[in-house]
Amino acid sequence: MKKKASKSVSKISSVYDHLKIEKKWQADWKKSGIYKTKEGGKKPKAYVLDMFPYPSGSGLHVGHPKGYIATDVFARFKRMSGFNVLHPMGWDAFGLPAEEFALKNKIHPSIAVKTNVKCYKDQLSILGFCYDWDREVNTTDPEYYKWTQWAFLQMHKKGLTYESHEPINWCPSCKTGLANEDLDNGKCERCGSIVEKKPIRQWVIGITKYADRLLSDLDALDWPNSIKESQKNWIGRSEGSELTFEIKGGESVSVFTTRPDTIFGVTYLVLAPEHHLIEKIKPRIENWDKVQSFIKDVAKKTQIERTAEGKEKTGVHLSGISAVNPANGEKVPVWIADYVLADYGTGAVMAVPAHDERDFVFAKKYNLPIMAVIGSEHVSDEKAYTGGGTLINSGKFNGKDSESVIKEITKFCNGKLVVRYKLRDWVFSRQRYWGEPIPLVHCASCGVVPVPEKELPLKLPNVKFYEPTGTGESPLAAIDKWVNTKCPQCKGPAKRETNTMPQWAGSCWYYLRYMDPKNKKMLVDPKKEKYWSPVDVYVGGTEHATRHLIYARFWHKFLYDIGVVSQSEPFTQLRNQGLIMGPDGQKMSKRFGNVVNPDDIVKLYGADSLRVYEMFMGPFEQAISWSTDNMLGSRRFIERVWRLKQKISKDSVKKDTEQLLHKTIKKVGQDIQGFSHNTAISSMMILLNALESEASVDKKTYETLLLILAPFTPHITDDLWSQLGHKKSIHLEVWPTYDESKLISDSFKIMIQVNGKIRGSLETNNPEEAFVIKAAKEKPEIKKYLDGNEIIKEIYVKNKLVNFVVKG
Ligand code: ANZ
Ligand code: ZN
């Protein structure tokens, strides 16, 4: 990469010295503090937020700053447009990757985080961002996580948390819990052993209590539809019925179904392999050995492996067990299968192979009967018919419409209508060192007791050893001095909770802390919160479509319920940047050796060129490959702006050029507002062409070009601005206004003749022949001459005249 870049550097001229200029202006901005933000004043506010990065050991590649550049342009535009702008940055630095990095390199995670943050900050500063660094936050700073812990305690007090034995991925040979990301096809990434599920005591947050609000409040948000859809699917609200099937021999089992109308088509029942009924009926299962080994096999599979479309579904018949269909009293066989999940619905399914795809495939594979109960015209041997229609083979419901009988059939079967969610409660603990300690104490006589608020932050003990314990417990469990404490209530001996919070915790509310980063008394001062909320634009990658954006919305709603924040949603508008792929079209990654480092690019071509290029590459949301050659185009554009200064004289530009200038001011403003930065740049390129074709350019026009370019190329524009004699930074100037009257004047008047005589005229700004002829014909004063006559010829003189030659 380096070699290639230095070869193309010869192609750039030394029209201007980007290294010198960029350094100078960055130092200048820092010294004068022009990007510092205060609340208050008469200006409207704009809160422009990036998803804060996780500072990894490998630093930034050119793909990372794409979103940061876009928000920087946006923030600068808003500032120039008279807004009081909050545009902060910080670090999401707890979590497994930092801990693993530290273990591998034998440095303490707190040291590694410090080094990585410094490296990230250096990389960001050379790009010329207008962050207010006085508001920087770091989730691993005790002064920050104090409030993460505080919020958790409030949830605990409101009864929103509970302890539960939740399974973790467990590698029996490494003796460690593994995140889903550490699994390689169900095996341990490190040693290749098959990973087991091991139940472990954990803290869980009852986020499902917020499912309905998380869903319904999505409607009012200005977010990409695809993200809203992902959230809807993640929450997964389903209306359906719970129906009960008797099991011969005494027990019963409930199923959740969205299609009670198909109950007469049930040909078997399926339980999740983990279903609690199995233990009870075990003595009556005639093929127990086979069943047992199947259950063991399924336990090794991940949820995705079990349910993914196209994955082969497997199951085992429970010999000797049968159930009774509540609708018609018929006996149906009972199976267990991997495609039925224990933690959705009731963990049991009534299978209707004629009308459900998964059941159909399964029935075909195991030769189970298929019974159609909807619309004889839909019956097929090839696949399930999953739509609605007229019921058949359904007893007294025959002939009725399937949709309309849902309530009636549910009642007929003694079932009930229910709402189910796919969203699960949030397992809010990790058995790791590098996370926020959960501020709870276990006391033999008082039970679970919260750490008093005045003792927060409960700091992570600073220790040398934080390797996994081998028991599945957190490394904190092995630190006796830390674990053994006094019960805050009875003062007797007690033990600290040793689970830590998950990586997602700190990012749930950081945007609130930027509003008031140094407050020692509160998470955020209500006055400041009211002033800045909500975040007006939030920008980041689509990988956060669900987890982060669900957890943060939940956390925010909780804070809203306890009166900490004033609005029920945190992020009004969301925009996602598309990835920048490597020059080879693959995802940029060390593994593919296609990583382009922004430091190299900035050194060779300048931050301003990089910024223009990344914004010009294509639509913001689109993924696109990096090309250093194309980047040179952006560099040349900037150089041309630099050179244009030599053309400044007293003579003003031509009228068309002036019109184009006003059009461009309007378009660039609108485009930045709409995150269409690429089209904003292309319209400035068109303007630049026009200015270059002028014999000379007046100072005012040149300055206007600099002003609208300033958000994109902050260094060179500030430099040229000061060269023109201005004392104040261009970034404190006001966004230029355009003259609406100058825009309308592009319309022209076209005379309309019939047989050479003027009969009317047309005012338009569309010069196209087909449009003009049609519009002319439709004018009533012309129509009366044309009606009933044959038009022999239509003559159009562009922008001037139309003549209809008619016979008669
Ligand atoms: C019978 C039926 C007939 C179904 C039919 C569908 C079509 P959603 O929309 O995702 O909520 N189901 C229920 N619990 C399940 C579990 N634990 N694991 C796997 N599948 C489960 O899906 C609800 C449908 O998914 C339910 O409706 C059930 O199959 C299945 F023509 O019941 B249905
Ligand atoms: Zn106690």
Distance 247 CA to ligand 1 centre (A): 20
**pTM score of the predicted model:** 0.85
Cα angle, residue 556 at apex, residues 551 and 557 outer, rounded to 5°: 100
Query: What residues have CB less than 8 Å from 51, skipping those under 6 apart?
Result: 67, 538, 539, 540, 541, 544, 548
Distance 146 CA to ligand 2 centre (A): 23
> Which whole number is the average pLDDT over 701-706?
98
Contact present, 734 and 80 (Cβ < 8 Å): yes
Please tell me whether residue 709 adopts helix, strand or coil conformation. Answer: helix
Contact present, 463 and 498 (Cβ < 8 Å): no
Give the lowest-confidence range in 116-125, 242-251, 459-468, 716-725.
Answer: 459-468
Four-point Cα dihedral 361, 367, 371, 372, nearest 10: 40
147: pLDDT strictly greater than 70: yes
**What is the enclosing helix (H) or strand (E) of 256?**
strand 252-257
Is there an atom of ligand 1 within 6 Å of 254 CB? no
Is there an atom of ligand 1 within 6 Å of 682 CB? no
Q: What one-character DSSP code corresponds to residue 138? A: E
Q: What is the pLDDT of residue 356?
A: 96
Residue bearing the CA closest to ligand 1, atom 11? 238
Atom of ligand 1 at shortest range from CA of 307: 19
Percent of the chain clearing pLDDT 70 (strictly above):
97
378: pLDDT strictly greater than 90: no
DSSP one-letter string for 172-209: TTTTEEE-GGGEETTEETTT-PBPEEEEEEEEEE-GGG
Please tell me whether residue 482 adopts helix, strand or coil conformation. Answer: helix
639: pLDDT strictly greater than 60: yes
Is there an atom of ligand 1 within 6 Å of 536 CB? no
Contact present, 300 and 188 (Cβ < 8 Å): no
Q: What is the pLDDT of residue 10?
A: 43
pLDDT interval class at 626 (50, 70, 90): very high
Contact present, 168 and 198 (Cβ < 8 Å): yes
DSSP one-letter string for 204-230: EE-GGGGHHHHHHGGGGSB--HHHHHH
Residue bearing the CA closest to ligand 1, atom 25? 257
Distance 443 CA to ligand 2 centre (A): 5
Query: Looking up tokens 């099937």, which residue turns up?
Result: 245
Q: What is the pLDDT of residue 590?
A: 83
**What is the enclosing helix (H) or strand (E) of 151?**
helix 142-157
Distance 472 CA to ligand 2 centre (A): 26
181: pLDDT strictly greater than 90: no
In whole angstroms, give the CA distance from residue 38 to residue 546: 33
Give the lowest-confidence range in 436-440, 584-588, 668-672, 744-748.
Answer: 744-748
If one residue of 232, 233, 242, 258 were mutated to test the ligand 1 pocket, choosing by the most ligand atoms within 8 A of its CB, it would be: 258
Distance 301 CA to ligand 1 centre (A): 20
Q: How many CB atoms lie within 10 A of CB 742?
A: 17
> Which whole number is the average pLDDT over 316-341?
97
pLDDT interval class at 7 (50, 70, 90): very low
Is there an atom of ligand 1 within 6 Å of 575 CB? no
Query: What residues have CB less than 8 Å from 506, skipping those under 6 apart?
Result: 92, 93, 94, 139, 140, 144, 145, 148, 436
If one residue of 256, 262, 386 were mutated to test the ligand 1 pocket, choosing by the most ligand atoms within 8 A of its CB, it would be: 256
User: Could you give the residue ranges of the DSSP H alpha helices within 378-471?
Assistant: 406-412
Q: What is the token pair recorded at 192? A: 């290749």
Distance 169 CA to ligand 1 centre (A): 27
Backbone angles phi, psi at 794, to 5 degrees: -120, 120
Is there an atom of ligand 1 within 6 Å of 257 CB? yes
Q: How many CB atoms lie within 10 A of CB 319?
A: 15
Residue bearing the CA closest to ligand 1, atom 26? 257
- From the CA of 344, which ligand is nearest? 1
**Which residue type, as a one-letter code, is found at position 631?**
M
Mean pLDDT of the chain: 92
In whole angstroms, give the CA distance from residue 443 to residue 494: 5
> Which whole number is the average pLDDT over 459-465?
89
Secondary structure, 3-state, 544-555: HCCHHHHHHHHH
749: pLDDT strictly greater than 90: no
Distance 490 CA to ligand 2 centre (A): 4
Percent of the chain clearing pLDDT 90 (strictly above):
78
Q: What is the pLDDT of residue 400?
A: 97
6: pLDDT strictly greater than 60: no
Residue bearing the CA closest to ligand 1, atom 2? 259
Length reported for the chain: 808
pLDDT interval class at 9 (50, 70, 90): very low
Q: What is the pLDDT of residue 463?
A: 86
> Which whole number is the average pLDDT over 184-193?
78
Q: What is the token pair recorded at 509? A: 């509310």
Distance 455 CA to ligand 2 centre (A): 17
> Which whole number is the average pLDDT over 382-399?
95
Distance 164 CA to ligand 2 centre (A): 21
HSE-up of 597 (CA within 13 Å, CB side)? Answer: 16
Q: What is the pLDDT of residue 798?
A: 86
If one residue of 277, 336, 356 were mutated to test the ligand 1 pocket, choosing by the most ligand atoms within 8 A of its CB, it would be: 356
Is there an atom of ligand 1 within 6 Å of 685 CB? no
Closest by CA position to 604, among listed 19, 137, 155: 19
Cis peptide before 457 (omega within 30 of 0): yes
Give the lowest-confidence range in 497-511, 592-606, 734-748.
Answer: 734-748
If one residue of 257, 335, 393 were mutated to test the ligand 1 pocket, choosing by the most ligand atoms within 8 A of its CB, it would be: 257
> Which whole number is the average pLDDT over 172-181?
75
Query: What residues have CB less than 8 Å from 668, skipping those under 6 apart?
Result: 680, 683, 684, 708
Bridge partners of 640, per DSSP, are: none
Atom of ligand 1 at shortest range from CA of 345: 14
In whole angstroms, give the CA distance from residue 408 to residue 401: 12
Residue bearing the CA closest to ligand 1, atom 20? 340
Q: What is the pLDDT of residue 689?
A: 96
Distance 256 CA to ligand 1 centre (A): 7
In whole angstroms, give the CA distance from residue 603 to residue 531: 40
* 628-644 vs 607-616: helix crossing angle, rounded to 10: 120
Q: What is the pLDDT of residue 275?
A: 96
Q: What is the pLDDT of residue 3?
A: 39
In whole angstroms, give the CA distance from residue 355 to residue 371: 9
Q: What is the token pair recorded at 349? A: 């399914």
User: Could you give the residue ranges of the DSSP H alpha helices within 675-805?
Assistant: 677-692, 699-709, 714-723, 740-744, 769-778, 780-786
Query: What residues have CB less than 8 Å from 374, skipping those under 6 apart?
Result: 261, 262, 265, 354, 355, 385, 387, 388, 389, 390, 391, 392, 402
Q: How many CB atoms lie within 10 A of CB 215?
A: 18
Q: What is the pLDDT of residue 17?
A: 94
In whole angstroms, give the CA distance from residue 776 to residue 292: 83
Q: What is the pLDDT of residue 11?
A: 53
Closest by CA position to 483, among listed 470, 499, 467, 472: 499
Q: How many CB atoms lie within 10 A of CB 658?
A: 16
Q: What is the pLDDT of residue 182?
A: 67
Is there an atom of ligand 1 within 6 Å of 385 CB? no
Sheet of 45-50: strand order equals 84-86, 45-50, 535-540, 571-576
- From the CA of 253, which ligand is nearest? 1
747: pLDDT strictly greater than 80: no
Residue bearing the CA closest to ligand 1, atom 27? 257
Is there an atom of ligand 1 within 6 Å of 63 CB? no
pLDDT in tens, 253-275: 999 999 999 999 999 999 999 99
Q: What is the pLDDT of residue 348?
A: 97
Backbone angles phi, psi at 652, to 5 degrees: -85, 165
Please tell me whether residue 367 adopts helix, strand or coil conformation. Answer: coil
DSSP one-letter string for 312-333: PP-EEEEEEEEEE-TTT--EEE
Backbone angles phi, psi at 91, to 5 degrees: -135, 130
Distance 349 CA to ligand 1 centre (A): 6
Atom of ligand 1 at shortest range from CA of 258: 27
If one residue of 349, 380, 410 were mutated to test the ligand 1 pocket, choosing by the most ligand atoms within 8 A of its CB, it would be: 349
> Which whole number is the average pLDDT over 700-727?
97
**Surface-to-core class of residue 461, CB atoms within 10 Å of its CB (0-12 exposed, 13-18 middle, 19+ buried):** middle
- From the CA of 360, which ligand is nearest? 1
Residue bearing the CA closest to ligand 1, atom 5? 356
Is there an atom of ligand 1 within 6 Å of 243 CB? no
Q: What is the pLDDT of residue 4?
A: 43
Structural domains for the chain: 238-420 (3.90.740.10), 599-742 (1.10.730.10), 748-807 (3.10.20.590)
pLDDT in tens, 780-801: 999 989 988 899 999 999 889 9
| Alpha-carbon Rg for the chain in angstroms | 34
Q: What is the pLDDT of residue 461?
A: 94
Residue bearing the CA closest to ligand 1, atom 22? 258
Query: Looking up tokens 């696109």, which residue turns up?
Result: 624
> Which whole number is the average pLDDT over 225-247?
96
**Surface-to-core class of residue 231, CB atoms within 10 Å of its CB (0-12 exposed, 13-18 middle, 19+ buried):** buried
Is there an atom of ligand 1 within 6 Å of 402 CB? no
Distance 483 CA to ligand 2 centre (A): 15
DSSP one-letter string for 2-57: HHHHHHHHTTS--SS-HHHHHHHHHHHHHHHTTT-----SSSPEEEEEEPPP---T
